[in-house]
Amino acid sequence: MDMKMSDTGFTALMDRFSLTCKSERDMDKLAHIFSYYISDIVEHVLCFGGDILNITGNVLLALWTVEQNQLSDIITLVAKCSLEIQEKFGIYHTREGQDLQLQIGLSAGRISQVIVGDEQRQYLLVIGRNVDDVQLAQRLAQANEIVLSWNCWMLCEQYMFEVEIMKEYEAVKIDVGQPMEYISEFRTVTMVLVSLEFHQTAWMLHLCHLIQEAASYISRVIEKGGGQLSRIFMFEKGCMFLCVFGFPGDKKPDECAHALESSFSIFNFCWENLAETKLVSISITNGPVFCGMVGAVARHEYTVIGPKVSLVARMITAYPGLVSCDEVTYLRSMLPTYNFKKLPEKMMKNISNPGKMYEYLGHKRCIMFGKRHLVRERNENHPLLDREKELETFRMAQQGCLHQKKGQAILYEGGKGYGKSQLLAEINLLAQKEGHRVLPLKLKEADSKQRFYAIQTLMAIFFEIDTCPAYYRQECLHKQLCEMVEEPLHCLFNDLFFVKFPLSFEVSHMDDLTRQKKIKACFFQVLQEALRETQLIFLIDEAQHMDAASWEFLGTLLSSVPIIMVMTLTPTFTLCGEAQHFLQSPHAMLMPISKLAVNSLLRMACWELGVVSIPQELQIYLLHRCFGNPLYCEVLCQDLLSKDILLFHDLQKVEEENSKWETLSANTTKSTMYSIPPASSEEDLELYVCTVKEDVNLDAVLLPPLLKEIAVIQLDQLSPEEQLLVKCAAVIGHSFHIGLLQHLLPGWGKHKLLRVLRALVDIHVFRWCNKSQELPVEPKLMPFSIEIIGKTKAEKKKSGAGSPLELNEELFLPQPEVLEFGVPLLRAAAWELWPKVQQIALHLKCAWFLQPLACRCGSCQRGDFVPFHRFAICPIKSSRGTFRFCSYRDTGSVLTQVTTDKLQLPLPKDSFQLQEKPSRSREAFASEHCRTEEEFLDQVSRKLAQTSPEKDVLTTKPCHCEEILKLVLWPLTQHCLITGENACAFYYLLEAAAASLDLSDNYMAFFYLRKASSLLGQPSAFSFLKKRKVKICQFQEAAFCRLRSEVCFNMGQITLAKKLARQALHLLKKNFPWTWFGVLFQTFLEKYWHPCSMSQPPDNPDENKKKLAVLQQRVHCLSLLWQLYNLEATASSRRFACLATLMQKNSAEEFANEAQVVSTYVALSQFSQNVGDREQWLHCERMAIQKSSRCWFSREGWLATAQLVQALAYTKLCLGHLDLSIKLGFQAYEISRHLRKPALENLVLSVLFRSAFLKKKFDLCVHVLDSQWALISQGHNILGLACFYSACLDLLLYGKGLRCRPFGECLRFIQYHEHSCILTSQSNVMLGVHSSLAMWFAQDSQWHLFEHHFSKAHQLVRRTNASLFGSHGFVRFLECHMLTSQRVPGAVLMHAPPETQTQVSKYFKEFFSRCVTCPVYHQWVSKLKASVMRCGKREFMSLNNIIRPFDTCLARIWIEGNFLEENKSLEGNVPMQRFDRVADVKENRDEEEIQECKC
């Protein structure tokens, strides 16, 4: 008993998808609809005792095997099954608006089962009259109908059914009202459908033999071309064979060409060898399809689904008796156009736009030869990158050919896309400029099958007959040969060049071998004659496709004629014996082509995009996908432009402050980009930078088809186990940990996982992270443990190993187990192969695994990066309910278990205790209050000198928060974004931004916050219309504002930073006044407000932590506010800043955290020093020392201690105690280096440099600057670089000839960045920079440049304060002022005429009144003032006596002229060593020069 079912709407649905889908991802919906729909039908058939024989496209064939005496009962049973199926599944409504409706045909009788195939592959066929009847019945059925064959109707219990007799067709119509997902993939494949229609008179047995013969031949030919015979199925007139090229594991290059050639071979075979064949039709299509399992758990089948599958079936009917192909196959085959014939357009059922169709005529040799051609043309605006060595090899070959009088061959070998054709284009241009004759040729794979093709074409190019008309070819060749070859021999070239010279008597008596030898001899003679006039150079691209005869000829030519041959080879091809013999020639050189260096690749990307800068995320995107391959870079850049995901900004546009976060321009972040100099030096040239749109996730951007095919071919070269592992690793990300990989492969043991990983590492698919980078001195973070993964949830709960607190012991493994992809494109292509449903499920598994690890490292007490973040958030219910794929029922997949629940935000119960109960030793130590500065410094020295568990906080437990950010937080955010869990993604984006700010990476914090902004959507101008796309609580809104405020502050966006900080305080229910009256009132409240102590344990710990979270954010906001107002030297700003410091102190004391209180008092002391409040400055410092008694037991406490030691070093420097300041600087540097706090480390080095500089320890200054350069040169800290170059200028001016960076570099940096918002907001630093530059140009008598920088310093002096940098800049400004009044000729200062002595005296007076907290400069400024007074009585004074506090060697440098610009001897980085040793050595030598408080 047979049943055949098909649905009427599936082809139309596929056509609708082909018209509306924007990517291959939408076909996942199509595959899932069909799989879900068909699985229910399959299970229904199985429940009624049937079995599934075949599922082909939208057709299902079922079979009931019965005895003859049971046939009537089984027919009734099957009819009931059909009725029930029609009732339940007859009409299936899809969201796309296309209904699926069933057609069912039934037949009963005898059938025959035939097995065809060979020993490797066998196929089951069901044939017979009964099969024809069921196909006829199914074809006659309309939608929602069941049709019985006449024989089936006669054998059933007819009284049970109401029927309609279809007499015309002798039929009766019944009236009726492993995980499979790991196997499924989306792939671009080429499908070949072979249709054999037999004569109806053929015997059944003979028909079986014909099918067997055809199946064996088709399978053999298809497999030879890299395809598979997927299935064989019968129809009423014959048999069809579906073949697929590109199944998993079978992807090969030139897939379409192989499919066409195989199809034509099959077409000829079937016509010539299958006698009973009536008609042979073959159709070929190429396109994306779903390849995977469909059906139920008990019965399923591997199949292909997609619009191209329907198209290949319709083409058989539309173009019978032909080998037809669609336009995509025609274009991708890259075969000559004369092998095809365009077919007329025809209408096809349920396919609205099939496109152009072509008939393949087979491989024919057209009467023509190749033409001169190179794939690439030299772009003069884009010079060749990183190919100096290859070009030098070519020049050496030229010299060798000239001197040795023998041929030279260079063969450049490199992978696809390495730039071999570009290199040939460069050589072609260089050779033509030198006047050489170049013969270029590009070969294809088909050319290797034509004997002597390469030489034939090269000589045609040589004779210049390759481009002339056919009728003129013979005359042109005759002119070329008449002077070099005897005329009777001209007819030798008739067949070779398609000419018709008369056959001479001499040639007619030659055999074929003699003719070939004579032709070669003539070629040698002709080339020798040509070499007398100019050098000949053969350029052959893709030489691996050269035929053997041509290789043999070139080998002989190389040894006898002084000619240069330059070829390119792709190493994946196997060369013939003649080619290998050629390579062994002593005159041939094989040279591998290397990948592009990172900088060269990024430079190329800038050229392709037409910009001078690209952002950091785009750099990572290109580097992870290109791995130095220029072709990949070019295609990816073009793809980004076509998808319109980049924004372009004018670089020359003046950078201005923005009032809105959403309108921050690219100029705000241009310092973080990779930059190249413009290609032209024209001043009016428009220069652009690009950024990525906010809502674009570059990791989810699909690869261009060309690159995806290349990567899938590489993937299919791996074994099935290796492919599965690579696909799972691709879900995790570019870098992944073994533990998470094993979590995605639960059926794999650790031994199997490591075995497969080792094999992939050996072939460079993966690489260990520590091998690709510099080995870390300290243990690297391992974000999870394999031992913990293997436990069940119950075991974790029982043992407590599932909590992050217990995970601490497993976080740091002795051996690194983090790998990364080592092959370009492979990760992106493998990720795209996953169907959308399985992709989301795997990302969700990764997110669940990483979620417990998304916190600070163990040495930082594993808290949230946004303090107490998880305690402050309110439970947020998802508005989307469950995932879309949760509604589908369980199909036995291992992935369905992870889709039943939602990914939740971190809960307080999952957290850990942040503050442990003090131990006895801590309590005992707490009683030893550090009441004096001497006691505190003594304790710091003892702690740094001793070896104890307390010091182990610094040495044995280093901070690994940076690794957590890279390996946990950002990947976790990516997983949440892909799975659509935007609330969780927003949470972790805030965490990632806070972590980046902790690590002083402001750009990445800006990047994460931009992502968070895109999740929330654009805010409305009206508050009542404000509706977020993601629902967040008020605390998260406040934290979001606070983080953006800090980022804006670091970017120099002062106005916007103030606005966001105030907004955050408002959300935290702590308002900050706007008016001076509000300031007075709030100050009164804060002074007489006593914070509540929180030392007693609260009744509700969670509520306490929520309050702590709010207090911590308040402290951060108030700290930002006083720093922002401190940048403005106005009385109003000072009042606001004072209030902010007072509110910060009160909030910190309410917070009741010792480290936080210490840090707050350190900040207050810094502020008091800046505003010149000496009493408050020293008072806050003493309070910080007294509060620091318990800052020795945690990393947070050590950070507060480092800040306090740095503040003391700063204080001693300002007071003039330089020796003590240097000692404290060493201690602060050691602590900050262990804490891995680059911002603090940079600040310490700046103070240390200033102390050593004033102490005239210039060697120590150089060491400090070298270490500072190593710290900040790789980052994006513009302010840090400005301070660094300011110090370099001081060293150049006063350092006795020593320098760290050349003056030209310092000047270029200032010129490039001086208009950035970051530096325009830092008046203190820029005053010193411009004053130092003015002094430099004054010494060189460049008065116009002196005036330029001095006028800028003049504008800045009023906006500075009493800080160290402000005082230093003021001193430099006073020195410049003396030059204008005493040394500079008045005529040269056009815009800033010299001021009177009274005006200059006001500046001195202002200095002493403002800089009262920086007495280290007072003695020197007093000397300057005295010099001014004396200068009024004298007309001339030596410049050195006026502005030189030290002896200098600048005079020698001036004489040498370009010494500072060109000498590179001192530019190398001197490694940072123990500064105190350098200081001690220098101190003995300079002891007689040291006087405290002197400049």
**pLDDT per residue as tens digits for the range 471-508:** 788 888 888 888 788 888 888 888 888 888 888 888 88
Beta-carbon contacts of 110 under 8 Å, excluding residues fewer than 6 positions away, are 128, 129, 130
pTM: 0.77
DSSP 8-state assignment for residue 351: B
Identify whether the C-beta of residue 280 lies closer than 8 Å to the C-beta of residue 271: yes
How many residues can be counted in the chain? 1495
Identify whether the C-beta of residue 251 lies closer than 8 Å to the C-beta of residue 709: yes
Report pLDDT for 1483: 38
Query: Where would I find the beta strands (DSSP E) of 770-866?
Result: 818-821
Report pLDDT for 1151: 67
Mean pLDDT across 202-231: 85
Q: Residue 479 is which amino acid?
A: K
Report pLDDT for 1363: 86
Token pair listed for 1106: 């929520």
User: Quick one: what percent of the chain has pLDDT higher than 70?
Assistant: 76
For residues 353 and 780, which has the higher predicted lDDT (pLDDT)? 353
Helical spans, DSSP H, in 1216-1237: 1218-1235
Identify whether the C-beta of residue 186 lies closer than 8 Å to the C-beta of residue 290: yes
Query: Where would I find the beta strands (DSSP E) of 118-260?
Result: 122-127, 145-149, 163-166, 171-174, 185-198, 227-235, 238-245
What residue has token string 């007294």? 1186
Report pLDDT for 946: 66
Residue 194 confidence class, pLDDT cut points 50, 70, 90: very high
CA distances from 377 to 470, 567, 731, 1171, 1182 (A): 27, 16, 39, 64, 73
Least confidently predicted of 15-24, 522-531, 1148-1157 = 15-24
**pLDDT per residue as tens digits for the range 1201-1227:** 888 888 888 888 888 888 888 988 888
Q: Which of 214, 232, 221 is nearest to 258 (CA)?
A: 221
d(CA 127, CA 1192): 86
Which three-class secondary structure string do you get for 1436-1469?
Answer: CCCHHHHHCCCCCCHHHHHHHCCHHHHCCCCCCC
**pLDDT per residue as tens digits for the range 1402-1433:** 888 888 888 888 888 888 888 888 777 776 54
Report pLDDT for 281: 93
- The rounded mean pLDDT for the chain is 77
For residues 367 and 1240, which has the higher predicted lDDT (pLDDT)? 1240
Report pLDDT for 1486: 41
**pLDDT per residue as tens digits for the range 850-896:** 988 888 887 777 788 998 888 888 654 443 433 332 222 333 333 43
d(CA 426, CA 441): 14
Q: Which of 299, 294, 270, 297 is nearest to 282 (CA)?
A: 270
* β-bridge mates for residue 194, sequence order: 241, 282
Asked whether residue 792 carries a pLDDT value surpassing 60, the answer given is no
d(CA 964, CA 783): 7
**pLDDT per residue as tens digits for the range 920-977:** 343 443 444 445 777 777 777 777 776 555 555 555 567 788 889 988 999 999 999 9
Residue 813 confidence class, pLDDT cut points 50, 70, 90: very low
What residue has token string 């290797």? 448
Q: Which of 1168, 1151, 1236 is nearest to 1202 (CA)?
A: 1236
Evaluate the CA torsion angle 841, 842, 847, 852 in order and state its sign. Answer: positive
Q: Are strands 300-305 and 674-675 parallel, antiparallel or unpaired?
A: unpaired
Mean pLDDT across 1116-1140: 87
Q: Please state whether 233 falls in left (phi above 0), alpha (psi between -120 and 50) or beta.
A: beta
Report pLDDT for 181: 67
Q: What are phi and psi of 114, to 5 degrees?
A: -125, 135
Which three-class secondary structure string do you get for 1156-1216?
Answer: HHHHHHHHHHHHHHHCCCHHHHHHHHHHHHHHHHHCCCCHHHHHHHHHHHHHHHHHHHHHC
Diameter of the chain measured on Cα atoms: 137
Q: Which of 773, 774, 772, 799 is nearest to 785 (CA)?
A: 799
Torsion of CA 969, 970, 971, 976, to 10 degrees: 90
Q: Which of 843, 763, 822 is nearest to 624 (CA)?
A: 822
Residue 1373 confidence class, pLDDT cut points 50, 70, 90: confident
Mean pLDDT across 264-268: 92
* Sequential DSSP letters for 670-735: GGGSEE---S---TT---EEEEE-TT--GGGPPPPHHHHHHHHHHHHTS-HHHHHHHHHHHHH-SE
Cα–chain center distance at 876? 32
Mean pLDDT across 1108-1137: 87
Asked whether residue 900 carries a pLDDT value surpassing 60, the answer given is no
